[in-house]
Structure 1
Amino acid sequence: MQVHLHASHPTNLTTVIRPYSMQESPYVMNYITPVTITTKQTQVACDHNHEHPAVIFSSGGYTGNLFHEFNENIIPLFITTRLFKFRVHFIVVDHKPSFLKKYRRVFSRLSDHEIINPVTDSSVHCFPGAITGLKFHKFLGINTSENPQTYYTMPDFRNFIRQTYKLKTRTVLDTQNPPVLLLISRQRTRKFLNQPELVKMMEELGFRVIIASLDKEMSNIEKFSHVINSCSVMMGAHGAGLANEMFLPDGAVMIQVRPLGFQYGVDAFYSEPGPGMGLKYLEYRIAPGESSLADVYGLDHPIVADTASVAAKGGYAAARDIYLNKQDLRLNLNRFRATLVEALGIIGSFRDVANA
């Protein structure tokens, strides 16, 4: 794809941009289609003259993963295009129909125009201006200092998401009593091996429990967002499914269960963004005996007893392979009970303060 710029004075500059927000990841950037921008004085006949500017971005990369989709596409698109108030055209390289269909409600609220796929549309489109690429601020968040006059914040984005998906529950005051707890049930790795006993304890404490599978319930974001929006608490092991906290009402509690050994991104991905979204964050760190790795290697093996040594020897890839891809969890119900009681207390305090 080529973008020709009309310069105010004769120039002959060419640059290449891969329009994906995760610029610091060389691995993924290798798979993003480059866009060539040139100021060469070329005679170009316009097949279509547009009144509004264009935003060029890639729907490739890590799309297919909810966490990455929000971080690298949806939030950056909101930051970039809301200033245009729908009057903008989207040009999508690495056009991925499944991704565009999944977020069709988001795209329709950010632009009044049909999305342009440069692979199937070989005509020449002329625009008054264009933005090539999106900007990543931080995980599940917006850096207000980098916005025009601190114009957009994470609460603004959350309001946009509520309006887009017609989510009616704004705060936990509007949720049901007894409180509803959403349990993210992973099916491949980081499974809760004693999930039936875990659910029973939750119900005994007074929760109504909804169990959601990444593969089934979460596949339809338009439908699942309403389920999450009705909950006071969301809980799950570290993973992409926790990004669904985006749809929780204000004052809700998100509980992250931290697996043994793997610490990369655990704080930046989920614990730090929570307060910026008006949520309360709780964390449960499993003990070595709660990991399936203890069953395989024994409590005295370095993989269990000295987790830092794995990353020191094999780096990120080795730590990810063992602690994310080969580990399941058997929570100590007595220990975890205290976290659930704390969550109940937070919800109760929020309601007490609001009703005071």
Structure 2
Amino acid sequence: MMRAEGKAARSANRSSPWKSSYVAYGLLLGSLLVLLYLMVSTQFSYSQKDDAGRGMEEFSREQEEEEKAKAHTEPSTPRRQGNEMKSDNWEAKSQAKNEETAESKEFGGGTDDYNNVANTKPICDTSFGKYDICELAGDTRAQGGPGATVTLVSPRAPPKEWQIKPYSRKYLDGLKAVTVKSVPNPGDVPQCTTQLNIPAMVIELGGLTGNYWHDFTDVLVPLFIGARRFNGEVQLLVVNLLPFWVDRTNSRKILNLPEVIAAAEAAGFKVIVAGRPKASYDEFTREMNSFDVMVGVHGAGLTNCVYLPTGAVLLQIVPYGRLEEIARTDFGDPARDMGLRYIEYSVAAEESSLMGVFGKEHPMIKDPAAIHLSGWGNVAEWYLGKQDVRINVERFRPSLLRALEHLQ
């Protein structure tokens, strides 16, 4: 063991000088390569800078030559010196240029540049498939009658004319068209007999109105959205005004009102007959808010239940003809949602004025379900449109007592 180790050590001692020489040669060669790389890189960098400098000089010379050429062929333009201009008429030229490129910002009114009416925005937009929109700003004159016309008098708007239908479903048949036009001179349109200094909206009450759903979706909701921006200061101009929109008083009357009042007073109520507002709606709403019970035949008048105080009672008299579901949907369910107590009194055939018109053997009296199946026309015309009621006070008294119980 000892001899073998000595032999290995001697062999290692003999090979160490050769290894040292190889290491020295490697270090020398590496140093030479690094030095060569640095020299080449430095030379290449200087070359790029020189090329770039020459390129900039050439570009500058070319630019100067172009500017000199332009100076001989184009008129001089003013140059800034600090915050001033050398040209005395620069402001006038700048203002004229701005007027030439000015765009109209007044919808339907054109632009302040009277000589540039070609860039004015149109008064009407009829590109929508369901409805037309017109907006007239300024001296606007409306004329009713068979040929309803709305005219904008303005020298800023070019003469033009549109035929529109102011209804949310303009594609329906039977709608009345309104002519909207612009004229430059006041003498081109008749003078107004009534003048108002507030916005006006033109609407149509044709189409599918007369149906509660369409009354809201087609007219009232669009009208509310359009008039909202005027904060209540708006005049409504109605095309083909239907009587039932402003006169709910021709149908579903209580024919024996004095007897019903007497029965209510006998039950313990102080009765006040509230008709149309005599002074103002503010006073009317305050009066309604003082009531404990509101009694009325199914119809638009019951909408005033929104002014009743929480916990009050709405007693709805439902006309004959299986109208309970309609009455409940229109006023019964909303009344409960508003925190009111709801009572429903359904009129019997003997209490309906239709009994005297058709007789008890007629389907209108004998079979209301068949009338409903025949279509909405007969229901709307007779059950809702041409029916009054004569209340049987003895039959009605339990409903009055129920209302009184709700308040105790």
Query: TM-score, normalised on structure 2?
Result: 0.44
For the pair 1:204 / 2:344, whether they are aligned, the reply is no
Q: After superposition, where does 1:15-94 map in structure 2 within 5 Å?
A: 15-16=128-129, 17=131, 30=175, 60-61=204-205, 89-90=229-230
Name 1:227's counterpart in structure 2: 287
Say which SS state the counterpart of residue 283 (structure 1) adopts: strand
Runs (5+) with no aligned partner, structure 1: 4-12, 36-55, 82-87, 91-106, 109-113, 119-185, 349-356
Counterpart residue identity of residue 347, structure 2: I
Name 1:237's counterpart in structure 2: 297
Q: 1:270 to 1:25 in 2, by over 3 A?
A: farther
Name 1:338's counterpart in structure 2: 398
For the pair 1:325 / 2:393, whether they are aligned, the reply is no
For the pair 1:303 / 2:341, whether they are aligned, the reply is no
Q: After superposition, where does 1:272-291 map in structure 2 within 5 Å?
A: 272-291=333-352
Identity %: 33
Q: Name segments (4+ residues, structure 1) moved above 4 Å.
A: 22-35, 56-60, 67-78, 114-118
Q: After superposition, where does 1:140-289 map in structure 2 within 5 Å?
A: 187-213=249-275, 216-217=276-277, 220-261=280-321, 263=323, 265-289=326-350
Larger Rg: 2
Q: 1:30 to 1:281 in 2, by over 3 A?
A: farther
1:293 CA displacement: 1.5
* Distance in 2 between residues matched to 1:220 and 1:280, nearest whole Å: 27
8 Å CA contact 2:345, 2:399 repeated in 1: yes
8 Å CA contact 1:32, 1:60 repeated in 2: no
Q: After superposition, where does 1:121-140 map in structure 2 within 5 Å?
A: none
Q: 1:329 to 1:222 in 2, by over 3 A?
A: same
1:328 CA displacement: 1.3
Counterpart residue identity of residue 400, structure 2: L
* Higher deviation after alignment, 259-268 or 201-210: 259-268
* Distance in 1 between residues matched to 2:393 and 2:373, nearest whole Å: 32
Runs (5+) with no aligned partner, structure 2: 1-106, 110-125, 134-164, 181-199, 238-247
8 Å CA contact 1:31, 1:61 repeated in 2: no
* Distance in 2 between residues matched to 1:61 and 1:237, nearest whole Å: 24
Q: 1:18 to 1:284 in 2, by over 3 A?
A: farther
1:303 CA displacement: 1.0
Q: Write out per-residue CA displacement over residues 270-292 of structure 1, whole angstroms, 9 at most, x where no aligned residue.
A: 11211222212111111111112
Name 1:148's counterpart in structure 2: none
8 Å CA contact 2:252, 2:319 repeated in 1: yes
8 Å CA contact 1:254, 1:281 repeated in 2: yes
1:77 CA displacement: 8.0
1:235 CA displacement: 1.0
Q: 1:194 to 1:250 in 2, by over 3 A?
A: same
Counterpart residue identity of residue 341, structure 2: K
8 Å CA contact 2:255, 2:390 repeated in 1: yes
Query: TM-score, normalised on structure 1?
Result: 0.50
* Distance in 2 between residues matched to 1:297 and 1:222, nearest whole Å: 43
* Distance in 2 between residues matched to 1:281 and 1:25, nearest whole Å: 39
